[in-house]
Chains A and B, each alone.
Chain A
Amino acid sequence: MSELKVSIRYATSLLDTAIEKNITESVHQDIELIYSSLEASRDLQLMLANPIIKPHVKLAVLEEIFKDKINSESLNFLKFLVEKGRENLLESIAKKFLELRDEYFGIVNIKIISAIELDENQVSQLKNKFEKILQKKVRLNFTIDNSVLGGFVAEVNDTVFDASLKHQLDILKKQFLTNGVSLN
């Protein structure tokens, strides 16, 4: 729990600085890059979390990886983190930053799970519909999962909009079980 609080603090400060200097878009891209590289590489995660590796080595590695790909402000933030000895929290800070940024700009992330890939027309329809319902800008993230069978499931934070065939069948099954089937 305390880790989460620390992450929120660092993420907030990064976001505030970015907003102040009006470079949110590029910082956002940088953090997204860092987050995805961390997710992709377990070695990198382990290296950052390892207390035996000296800070300057960690810093050198991070610089080596990200030097040409991110702007100086983001790189400074990485240095700052290493200096404070919080580099092990980089992943959760990055994640929190992305959340806070979306919150700041009023963007809602929606996870759409469907059985097959949706075409462009469907995507734009979904997007329009959700923007109308939620009265906010939305960003759709798509996942393909065969188990929903058909239709889609949209997860907006804690709320689920379930229009999947699987759910419909589950309801039907429940109805049959509770009402019972009799031949009379």
Chain B
Amino acid sequence: MAEVRPDEISAILRKQLSGYENEIDIYDVGTVLQVGDGIARVYGLSKVMSSELVEFPNDVFGMVLNLDEDSVGCVLFGDSTLVKEGDVVKRTKRVASMPVGEGMLGRVITPLGLPIDGKGAINTSKFSPIERKALGVVQRQPVKEPLQTGITAIDAMIPIGRGQRELIIGDRQTGKTAVAVDAIINQKYTHSEEAKGLGIKPVFCIYVAIGQKSSTVAQVVAKLHEHGAMDYTTVISAAASEPAPLQFIAPYSGATLGEYFRDSGRHALVIYDDLSKQAAAYRELSLLLKRPPGREAYPGDVFYLHSRLLERASKLNDELGGGSLTALPIIETQQGDVSAYIPTNVISITDGQIYLESSLFNAGVRPAINVGISVSRVGGNAQIKAMKKVAGSLKLDLAQYRELEAFAKFGSDLDKSTQRTLSRGARLVELLKQGQYVPKPIERQVVAVYLGTNGFLDEVPVHEIERFILEIIEYIEVNNNDIFESIKKEKQLSDSTAEKIKQTVKEFSGVFK
């Protein structure tokens, strides 16, 4: 080993010391009265602000939530066993905030913006407060651009627009996260050169995992890596083992990071997976802070907890750059009970919901979306014309099918039109089935739905539908790719294109076996 010369060390020390100034340091302090369960009561800190970060010994940080008459209630973001009664608490004079910037893309971070993926420090220069007021009416404009999820059932019948808030709701094990992850993977196209040429702006994604198993989060991250989706995605993780305060602020951090993209005229998609766990974490905090419990022991402001979060999703007006922040909150129901407190709250806040049902999931309909009760209140304006045209009758056909399905079970002889509705419905259900991690580009969805609603599939056996669609899409890609190109470019289905599709189907039906 080369010898270290003393002057080398002194040079380093001198360099380090050069920025060092000897001044009186003025700071405000308080004393810990009581600590436990991730909550500390502090005496003093007389000028502290609500939701300000405070520093405890051993590098534990906390956030002020309660400003009482003679004490301050703080939640701890670190290990509460490191804090003792009588410890000195220092103010930081800044409200809870996190670093934001492009450097966050491709990283896995904590809700406070610290990296946890072992890839070193994150290079950012800007700090943004975690809690921000949502924008007002003047700064917004109606949702008008589509956000393609790549899932036919959603893009055709429950379209989502950029700036919308669409709830994904369902029991455990119904594929809620799968829908969200597919939506992220499908945004890869928006970052391509081709999309740029077509005027489709890139969508940056933020996946917020709240109270999930670390292994699940790792799995999602691995899948995103595998599909090349991590380049434009940030994962914010507050795993189940993290203290409740971190789980509570995680979605707000996600919104803050999304707002960074939105406010710079870009588009962001934030997924909150899931808000029921966040509500439970908030309930824990509130009860420990001795706030009075209400229905299901949630505190009185649990509605505001979610409304102020989801209200931050928005589509900015053109003067402000026209950026957008789309939110896909996820809610887990118990035994399909959507009339519980938190589900009803979030349903009423969002602009629509996607219902996933375990019965459908078990019957092999995946994604297990119940299209009958799923709605999108604003996304229709954002849907491209071609899809609007072909999907018009899809929802109706499916609704009629579901109504008659019960009768069909009796096996009694049915009239012709009923039989037609039933066979059409069964084929449409098949058509909307889709594997995980294989989002479909919009032009292929349009062609598939066109085939279904116009009766071109009626002759194909139900169990062959999936293969038929797959192969005809391939066939078109090889032989008649201009069909896809024209839908992509014109965003509508012209009569000539429709004619071409018809012809291709005729050709293809001849070779299909």
Contact = CB atoms under 8 A, between A and B. Distances in A.
B333 to A, nearest CB: 42
Nearest to B23: A163
Contacts of B193: none
A158 B25 contact: no
Contacts of B4: 183
A159 B26 contact: yes
Contacts of B28: 158-160
Contact of B24 (A1, A163, A175): A163
A71 to B, nearest CB: 33
Interface stretch (A18-26, A38-46, A165-173): A165-173
Interface size bucket, B side?
A: 20 to 34
B29 A160 contact: yes
Residue of B17, B19, B27, B46 with most chain A CB atoms under a 10 A cut-off: B27
A157 B24 contact: no
Contacts of A175: 16, 19-20
A9 B30 CA distance: 25
B22 interface: yes
B44 interface: yes
B45 A158 contact: yes
A161 B28 CA distance: 9
Interface in A1-40: 1, 4
A163 B8 CA distance: 31
B70 A159 contact: no
B26 A162 contact: yes
A172 B45 CA distance: 25
B406 interface: no
B126 interface: no
B27 A160 contact: yes
B47 interface: yes
Nearest to A165: B22
Contact of B26 (A1, A160, A168, A176): A160
B12 interface: yes
Nearest to B45: A158
A174 B305 CA distance: 37
B12 A158 contact: no
B16 A157 contact: no
Contact of A4 (B26, B30, B70): B70
B415 to A, nearest CB: 79
A181 interface: yes
Interface string B24-64: 11111110000000000000111100000000000000000
A179 interface: yes
Interface SS of chain B: mixed
Nearest to B30: A158
Contacts of A183: 4, 8, 12
A171 B25 contact: yes
Given A158-B44, A158-B46, A179 B26 contact: no
A159 B16 contact: no
Contacts of B44: 158
Nearest to B2: A183
Contact of B29 (A1, A158, A163, A176): A158
Interface string B250-290: 00000000000000000000000000000000000000000
A179 B13 CA distance: 11
B8 A168 contact: no
A33 to B, nearest CB: 28
A161 B25 CA distance: 6
Contacts of B26: 159-162
A169 to B, nearest CB: 11
Interface string B351-395: 000000000000000000000000000000000000000000000
Given A4-B70, A158-B46, A162-B25, A181 B30 contact: no
A158 to B, nearest CB: 5
A76 B25 CA distance: 47
B25 A167 contact: yes
A179 B20 CA distance: 12
Contact of A179 (B16, B27, B70): B16
B47 A181 contact: no
Interface string B113-129: 00000000000000000
Contacts of A161: 24-26
B399 to A, nearest CB: 62
Nearest to B22: A168
Contact of B25 (A1, A155, A163, A172): A163
B7 to A, nearest CB: 12
A20 B128 CA distance: 54
Contacts of A4: 70
Nearest to B90: A160
Contact of A162 (B12, B19, B24): B24
- What 8 A-B pairs have minimum CB-CB distances, sorted nearest first? A163-B24, A162-B25, A158-B44, A158-B46, A158-B28, A159-B28, A160-B29, A161-B26
14 contacts: A1-B70, A157-B46, A158-B44, A158-B45, A160-B29, A161-B25, A161-B26, A163-B24, A167-B25, A171-B25, A179-B16, A182-B12, A183-B8, A183-B12
Interface of A: 1, 4, 155, 157-163, 167-168, 171-172, 175-176, 179, 181-183
Given A158-B44, A163-B24, 17 more contacts: A1-B70, A155-B29, A159-B28, A159-B29, A160-B28, A162-B24, A162-B25, A167-B25, A168-B22, A171-B20, A171-B25, A172-B17, A175-B20, A181-B16, A182-B12, A183-B4, A183-B12
